[in-house]
């Protein structure tokens, strides 16, 4: 998608440089001409001009030239000398577009959107098409960077009539990438215009189950929308799906330990995996056959793959053991595509290796996304002492700071007796002016990121209340919830928000009800592993789809699943809040 955007931006700039002077109308004003002078000559002419409008046009041309020469600081300095409010509308649009492009070069989409919020931009459709394309492009890029995916797609669709050839194709690929990233509920509210057609295509692809179902649905959509740009030229990822559909999956190897420390974890994963398999059979599908292999008796990965190949296996699900996953990740290639049920450390492994697990790092990133969507920018953090806590904090920090968030304090939770003091240290209680003994909390901390056990959380929330900091929101990972059904355990956690698997937040799910009827323990914290096993089964035939459609998702029971560029399955989770000792599901945040 990034390559498409770069190509499209280059094409737009080329079109702009070739454009001549434009005078839309006397009321809109003249646009800057494509300069035939150097930067210094333009500025000299502006300084010598006695006509304020001509001087402004020359400076706009100079700022534009500096931007194209990648001299962004100089472009910003020149643009700051142009009196925006004294310009005519066409010039205001041009200046606002320049300001937005400069803001995007600083990775500041909010400043870009502010620049494009100028009233003059409402008259963009009256201006020459090259400026329309340029403004729509930076507006779309800013909206996308700000997380406003649907609005970015709408902006790109608006310039569709003004594009032809490669520029049109690149824009169409960018529109598809955006709408493919939208959740299903947003796709359902589509209109009958060009963007609505893109959204209905995305809904069609996401609603179909198997690759063959997707192909049939796409063919039907094209027949119903023969003049739509996507019907005339399918997006590249959908063309790749056609290739995948010609390779149906018929046999899977399930490689899990039957003995040792991970045997109970393995059993929950296996039972969930097979529950999904039996559900597919009951639904009248023709699922692949499953062959079991015991990784606890494994002596050689090479020997295992030789045996699996001889058995006709097309996909391996497993292993679970981290040392084995690490070995696979270090290999240059694998003889059979493999979905490991754990994550290795380090760089991306061979092209045939995919990795999936219940990573706490996913939840830390989820907390950062949710807090940002809720409008928060300054965080405190409480994580356990040790390697696990450090990894979780690192994931939270990277996601949080990458989007402009700030961490103003961190405490590493250790012994229970120290918790009260650690909470006090984190919120930095102070005495008020005049020496009053009434403490007050620091005002630069808007919420606390918490990764802790239920027992620790039971102490932390009341301590915040005791320390006059009970108004600080707490956003936690799922580790605060044991799903024990003991309401008393959570009464002291009222108000804590936490992310959790759909499995544990949706007791009415039919498959969950079937599984818990047979294995009651699946209704508790072990349920996360049953959900992961079910999702591993659902991921198995879809790895190629997720790779071909990197912005697409599978709505799983362990979370909303997507594929990272390093072929690791990442989860986004729904949210709940403890209310009267019970987890109450919260509405999803807007995209």
Q: Domain holding 160: CATH number?
A: 1.25.40.10
In which residue are the tokens 């959204």 written? Answer: 199
Asked if residue 450 and residue 381 are part of one domain, the reply reads yes
Q: Are 117 and 143 in contact (CB under 8 A)?
A: no
Is residue 244 situated within a structural domain?
no
Q: Can you tell me whether residue 412 is helix, strand or coil?
A: strand
**Residue carrying structure tokens 């320049």:** 98
What dihedral do alpha carbons 494, 499, 501, 504 form, nearest 10°? 0
What pLDDT score does 50 carry? 87
The span from the CA of 65 to the CA of 283, in Å, is: 63
| Domain residue limits at 579 | 360-500+575-585
449 - beta bridge partners? 381, 475
Q: String of b and e for 327-339 (b: at least 16 CB within 10 Å)? A: ebbeeeebbebbb
Interval 509-564: pLDDT, tens: 899 999 999 999 999 889 999 999 999 999 998 888 888 776 677 889 999 998 88
Same domain, 267 and 395: no
Q: Which of 137, 126, 29 is nearest to 84 (CA)?
A: 29
39 is a domain residue: yes
pLDDT of residue 17: 37
User: Beta-carbon neighbour count of residue 440 at 10 Å?
Assistant: 14
Domains contained in the chain, number: 3
- Cis amide leading into 186 (omega within 30): no
The reply to whether 168 falls in a domain is yes
Q: Kindly give the interhelix angle for 165-180 and 129-145, rounded to the nearest 10 degrees.
A: 20
Residues 549 and 494 in one domain: no
144 is a domain residue: yes
pLDDT at residue 21 in the model: 41
Which pLDDT score, from 0 to 100, does residue 441 have?
63
User: Model confidence over 111-153: pLDDT tens digits?
Assistant: 999 999 999 999 999 999 999 999 999 999 999 998 899 999 9
Candidates 56, 52, 124; CA nearest to 93 is 124
Tell which of 170, 193, 216 closes a domain. 193
Q: Does residue 410 sit in the same domain as residue 324?
A: no
Q: What is the pLDDT of residues 487-514, one digit of tens each?
A: 777 888 889 999 999 999 998 889 999 9
Residue 486 banded pLDDT, cuts 50, 70, 90: confident
CA distance 523 to 588: 23
Q: What is the pLDDT of residue 542?
A: 86
Q: d(Cα 180, Cα 284) in Å, to the nearest integer? A: 28
334 and 369 in a single domain? The answer is no
**What φ, ψ does residue 398 adopt, rounded to 5°?**
-65, -45
User: Each residue of 359-409: pLDDT tens digit?
Assistant: 899 999 999 999 999 999 999 999 999 999 999 999 999 999 998 899 999
Contacts of 278 (CB under 8 A, 6+ apart): none
Q: What is the mean pLDDT of residues 197-204?
A: 91
Is residue 162 domain-shared with residue 286, that is, in the same domain? no
Residue 86: its pLDDT value, please? 85
Buried b (16+ CB within 10 A) or exposed e, 287-302: bbebeebebbeeeebe
- CATH assignment at residue 484: 3.40.50.2300
Question: 575-579 and 569-572: which strand pairing?
Answer: unpaired
226 three-state secondary structure: coil
pLDDT at 37 over 90: no
The DSSP 8-state label assigned to residue 85 in this structure reads G
Closest CA to 15 of 135, 177, 172, 108: 135
CA distance 476 to 452: 8
142-190 pLDDT, tens digit each: 999 988 999 999 999 999 999 999 999 999 999 998 998 787 778 876 7
Instruction: Name, in order, each residue with C-beta under 8 angstroms of 435's C-beta and a sequence gap of 6 or more.
Output: none
Do 106 and 59 lie in one domain? The reply is: yes
Q: Which of 152, 167, 193 is the last residue of a domain?
A: 193
Strand, helix or coil at 272? helix
Residue 422 maps to a domain = yes
Q: Given a cut of 50, is residue 33 above it in pLDDT?
A: yes
Position 214 in a domain: no
**315 and 440 assigned to the same domain:** no
Q: What is the pLDDT of residue 350?
A: 94
Do 346 and 364 fall into the same domain?
Answer: no
- Reported as half-sphere exposure (CB side, CA atoms, 13 A), residue 271 has a value of 22
Cα-to-chain-centroid distance, residue 245: 27
Tell me how far CA of residue 436 lies from CA of 408, 430, 440, 468, 557, in angstroms.
25, 10, 10, 14, 52
Cβ atoms of 576 and 568 closer than 8 Å: no
In a domain, 25, yes or no: yes
Same domain assignment for residues 351 and 365 = no
Rounded Cα distance, 554 and 552, in Å: 7
Give 100-121 as a DSSP string: HHHHHHTT-HHHHHHHTTSGGG
List beta partners, residue 406: 378
222 in a structural domain: no
Please write the tens of the pLDDT for every residue from 420-436: 666 767 766 544 444 45
Last residue of a domain, one of 193, 220, 238: 193
Q: Is 428 exposed, middle or buried (0-12, 13-18, 19+ CB in 10 A)?
A: middle
Judge whether residue 20 has pLDDT over 80: no
28 and 148 in a single domain? The answer is yes
> 360 near 451, Cβ under 8 Å?
yes
Is residue 9's pLDDT more than 50? no
CB atoms within 10 A of CB 398: 13
pTM, to two decimals: 0.67
Judgement on whether residues 115 and 41 belong to the same structural domain of the protein: yes
Given this model, what pLDDT does residue 8 score? 45
């Amino acid at each position: 998608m990034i390559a498409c955007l770069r190509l499209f931006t280059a094409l737009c700039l080329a079109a702009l440089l070739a454009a001549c002077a434009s005078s839309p109308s006397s009321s809109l004003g003249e646009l800057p001409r494509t300069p035939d002078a150097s930067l210094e000559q333009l500025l000299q002419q502006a300084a010598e001009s006695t006509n304020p409008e001509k001087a402004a046009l020359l400076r706009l041309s100079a700022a534009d030239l500096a931007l194209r020469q990648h001299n962004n600081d100089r472009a910003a300095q020149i643009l700051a000398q142009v009196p925006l409010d004294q310009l005519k509308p066409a010039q205001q649009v041009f200046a606002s577009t320049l300001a937005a492009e400069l803001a995007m070069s600083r990775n500041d989409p909010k400043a870009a959107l502010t620049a494009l919020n100028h009233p003059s931009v409402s008259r963009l459709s009256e201006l020459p098409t090259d400026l329309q394309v340029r403004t729509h492009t930076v507006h779309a890029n800013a909206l996308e960077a700000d997380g406003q995916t649907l609005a970015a797609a709408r902006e790109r669709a608006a310039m569709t009539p003004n594009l032809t050839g490669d520029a049109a194709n690149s824009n169409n690929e960018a529109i598809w990438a955006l709408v493919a990233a939208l959740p299903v509920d947003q796709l359902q509210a589509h209109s009958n215009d060009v963007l609505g057609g893109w959204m209905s295509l995305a809904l069609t692809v996401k609603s179909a189950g198997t690759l063959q179902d997707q192909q049939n649905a796409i063919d039907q959509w094209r027949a119903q929308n023969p003049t739509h740009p996507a019907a005339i030229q399918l997006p590249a990822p959908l063309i790749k799906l056609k290739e995948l559909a010609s390779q149906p999956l018929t046999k899977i190897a399930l490689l899990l330990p039957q003995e040792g420390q991970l045997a109970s974890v393995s059993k929950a994963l296996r039972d969930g995996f097979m529950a999904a398999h039996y559900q597919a059979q009951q639904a009248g599908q023709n699922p692949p056959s499953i062959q079991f292999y015991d990784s606890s008796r494994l002596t050689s990965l090479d020997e295992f793959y030789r045996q699996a190949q001889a058995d006709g296996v097309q996909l391996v699900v497993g292993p679970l053991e981290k040392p084995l996953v690490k070995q696979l990740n270090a290999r240059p290639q694998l003889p059979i595509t493999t979905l490991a049920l754990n994550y290795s450390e380090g760089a991306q492994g061979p092209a045939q290796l995919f990795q999936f697990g219940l990573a706490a790092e996913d939840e830390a990133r989820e907390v950062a996304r949710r807090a940002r969507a809720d409008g928060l920018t300054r965080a405190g953090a409480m994580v356990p002492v040790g390697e696990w806590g450090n990894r979780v904090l690192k994931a939270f920090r990277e996601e949080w700071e990458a989007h402009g968030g700030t961490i103003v304090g961190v405490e590493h939770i250790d012994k229970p007796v120290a918790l009260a003091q650690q909470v006090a240290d984190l919120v930095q209680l102070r005495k008020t002016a005049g020496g009053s003994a009434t403490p007050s909390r620091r005002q630069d901390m808007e919420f606390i990121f918490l990764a802790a056990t239920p027992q620790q959380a039971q102490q932390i929330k009341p301590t915040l209340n005791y320390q006059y900091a009970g108004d600080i929101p707490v956003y936690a990972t799922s580790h605060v919830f044991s799903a024990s059904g003991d309401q008393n355990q959570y009464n002291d956690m009222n108000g804590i928000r936490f992310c959790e698997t759909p499995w544990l937040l949706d007791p009415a799910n039919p498959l969950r009800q079937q599984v818990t009827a047979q294995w009651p323990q699946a209704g508790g914290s072990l349920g996360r592993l049953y959900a992961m096993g079910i999702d591993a089964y659902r991921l198995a035939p879809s790895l190629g789809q997720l790779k071909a459609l990197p912005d697409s998702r599978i709505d799983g029971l362990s979370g909303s699943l997507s594929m990272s560029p390093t072929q690791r399955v990442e989860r986004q989770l729904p949210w709940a809040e403890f209310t009267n000792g019970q987890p109450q599901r919260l509405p999803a945040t807007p995209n």
